[in-house]
Amino acid sequence: MKRPQVIGAPAGSLARLLCILLILLSNKAIAEIRLADDSGRTVTLAQPARRIITLAPHIVELLYAAGAGDRIVGAVEYSYFPEAAKSIPRIGDSAQLDLERIVAMKPDLIIVWQHGNAQRQLDRLLSLGVPVYYNEPRSLDDIARSIEQFGKLAGSDAVAQPAARDFLRREGELRARYSRLAPVKVFYQIWDKPLMTVNGEHIISDMMRLCGGENVFAGLKQLVPVISTEAVLAADPEVIGGAAAEASASGKFDNWKKWPRLLAVSRKNLFVINGDLISRHTPRMLEGARIMCEQIDAARSRRPGVR
């Protein structure tokens, strides 16, 4: 009597098929990237990004630092560092984006500056269905973290992780040298009309702390608040500083010389730093921090009785 024939693949074949399926599923799980951005949203990519659009100049610099500059297919105006970034196609500026061109570029990731882009346009980008990652460094450590995150998003960890570690090492050296020196009261001027500064949560305040400086307006609620001249006079900072296109623009704060009794004026502690080194959330901020620390230390040296 013949045994009934079992229809189907042999047991060995089934086992091999299951192994193949498990490998495929495993590879998919490995390729998928899930990261929380600086707004708290979870961004999911099926695989490392290959076509990235950036909506702030500092994001371009961070991506190059993370070894992913060649993945950028579109950038906004003023994205001119490093040199290679000058050849990236432009898709508008922070005030007006060319959404049709963005769509035509078929990006698989858009990285935006959370507080540097118009929310109306960001809402339209979100409606396109392309993953959007919000970046908002609030401290120098956040620059290193951004480099690491961008490396994960673009699959360039081999470059990003050493770059982030090197940044933290150099930051630590500056912090160890200056942060415990005698504190110095600092007013940082963002703009003059209206008069604007930064609060204690701003990355520039973190830079001040690294240098042993104390932001006289750290306690204000807004990240970039508008203040009055009277408030600055009442705070009587020992240092007044800010950014300019050229570090040699020493006349930027000449208007404060109308109040010769102001401590920063009487001791000639009016300092300017090149804007690219202090106003962009990039590794170059460490050079800006070094300059700021030297300026604040110079203010210490001008105190009565100090030689």
Q: pLDDT (tens digit, 9 = 90+) per residue, 269-287?
A: 999 999 999 999 999 999 9
Instruction: Report CA-CA distances (Å) from 131 to 61, 136, 209, 220.
Output: 20, 17, 35, 34
pLDDT of residue 67: 98
Strand arrangement, sheet containing 213-215: 213-215, 184-189, 239-244, 270-274
Does 32-165 match 179-301 in CATH topology?
yes
pLDDT of residue 11: 55
Spell out a b/e string for 215-233, using b for 16 or more CB atoms within 10 Å of the CB, else e: bbbbebeeeebebeeeebe
Q: Pseudo-torsion of CA 136, 62, 187, 209, nearest 10°?
A: 90
The tokens for 264 are: 């920063």
User: The pTM is what?
Assistant: 0.85
Q: Is the Cβ–Cβ distance between 60 and 150 less than 8 Å? A: no
The tokens for 234 are: 């009442």
**Low-confidence spans in the chain with pLDDT less than 50:** 1-7, 9, 23-29
pLDDT of residue 258: 95
- The DSSP symbol for 96 reads -
Where do the structural domains in the chain lie, given as residue ranges?
32-165, 179-301
User: How many other CB atoms sit within 10 Å of the CB of residue 149?
Assistant: 23
Q: Which CATH class is domain 32-165?
A: alpha beta
- The DSSP symbol for 276 reads G
pLDDT of residue 191: 92
CA distance 238 to 183: 10
Could you tell me how far CA 235 lies from the centroid of its own chain? 29
- The label of the residue with tokens 């160890």 reads 176
pLDDT of residue 23: 47
CA distance 216 to 83: 37
**Residue type at 193?**
K
Q: Dump pLDDT digits (tens) for 73-90.
A: 999 999 999 999 999 999
Residues constituting the chain: 307
Selecting from 3.40.50.1980, 3.40.640.10, 3.30.1390.20, 3.30.70.20, what CATH number does the domain 179-301 have?
Answer: 3.40.50.1980
Q: Pseudo-torsion of CA 177, 178, 182, 184, nearest 10°?
A: 170
The tokens for 96 are: 């007006």
CA distance 54 to 44: 17
pLDDT of residue 211: 98
